[in-house]
Amino acid sequence: MTWANGVKGVLLDITGVLYNSGSCGGTPIVGSVEAIQRLKASQLLYKFCSNESTQTRADFAAKLNKHGFDISADEILSPAPVMVALLKRESLRPHLLVHPDVLAEFSSLDQSNPDCVVLGDCQEHFTSCSLNQAFRVLLSMHADNRKLYALGAGKYYSENGELVLDVGSYARMLEFAADCTMNVCGKPQPAFFEQALQELGVKASECVMIGDDIVSDVGGAQAMGMRGVQVRTGKYRADADEPHPTVKPDGYVDNLAEAINMLLTSSSA
């Protein structure tokens, strides 16, 4: 039995799986546009699950569609709207250290006199000044009640063919400096995967996650009872991910096209 047998639902990471980020909007990975077309034409249910936090879902979908994909904003599950819902439930007022292009997602929240800190991937907006400001906000809270949230826990991702630090690395720095515990809203947080499964309407045992992050994508999915498949694109590094010291994927594929081909072959057998 291969990892593709009995799959009804597919969760797909985007960056490093469908396309590589970079200048001029990045570039699609060879075969990925056609692979998504084949997936959409099949009977398989799917959801795009991304820790993207530098733009809104609508802007992200628009960028992907310029590359030839046919993806709508409501097909993407990303951390920002999930984070907003959590903040509203908890009646929290955030200090936001997020990319300017995603600020609109948080416009409905009261941000005066903040009682928590929320980090997204700020890219060049992660500066000594902005990080110190977030640090001081955390220190202004009681030591037992410092709330730090991160829109993802990734260490790094690939951009323009090079690895760059992701939001998880900066959040860990603040966690260390402020003596608090980071809370993740996004992969590999179980609640994030639970929402994806709920929206798909499938059981974890019937679902596979395809991603380039062996810890957040593959390991996070497996911890939820799903299958996790590692693509050898994006941030994948042979020396670090095959084999990985703590996560053993249910399968490795060279790219998304190979994964979709295996899924569709299995479903038609």
Note down pLDDT in tens along the chain; length 269 residues.
599 999 999 999 999 999 998 888 899 999 999 999 999 999 999 999 999 999 999 999 999 999 999 999 999 999 999 999 999 999 999 999 999 999 999 999 999 999 999 999 999 999 999 999 999 999 999 999 999 999 999 999 988 889 999 999 999 999 999 999 999 999 999 999 999 999 999 999 999 999 999 999 999 999 999 999 999 999 999 999 999 999 999 999 999 999 999 999 998 87
Listed in sequence order, the residues at least 6 apart from 195 whose beta carbon sits closer than 8 Å to its beta carbon are 77, 82
Give CATH for domain 79-184: 3.40.50.1000
Distance CA 242, CA 230 (A): 9
pLDDT (0 to 100) of residue 1: 59
Q: Where in the chain is the domain with CATH 3.40.50.1000?
A: 9-51+190-268, 79-184
Among 39, 4, 35, residue whose Cα is nearest residue 233: 35
DSSP the chain: --TTTT--EEEE--BTTTEEB-GGG-EEPTTHHHHHHHHHTSS-EEEEE----SS-HHHHHHHHHHTT----GGGEE-HHHHHHHHHHHTT--EEEES-GGGGGGGTTS--SS-SEEEE---GGG--HHHHHHHHHHHHTS-GGG--EEES---SEEEETTEEEE-HHHHHHHHHHHHT--EEE-STT-HHHHHHHHHHHT--GGGEEEEES-IIIIIIHHHHTT-EEEEESSTT--HHHHTT-SS---SEEESSHHHHHHHHHHHHH-
Quote the pTM value: 0.91
pLDDT (0 to 100) of residue 187: 95
Residue with tokens 């077309």: 37
Number of other residues whose CB lies within 10 A of the CB of residue 203: 12
Q: Which CATH number fits domain 9-51+190-268: 3.30.420.40, 3.40.50.1000, 3.30.70.2740, 3.60.15.10?
A: 3.40.50.1000
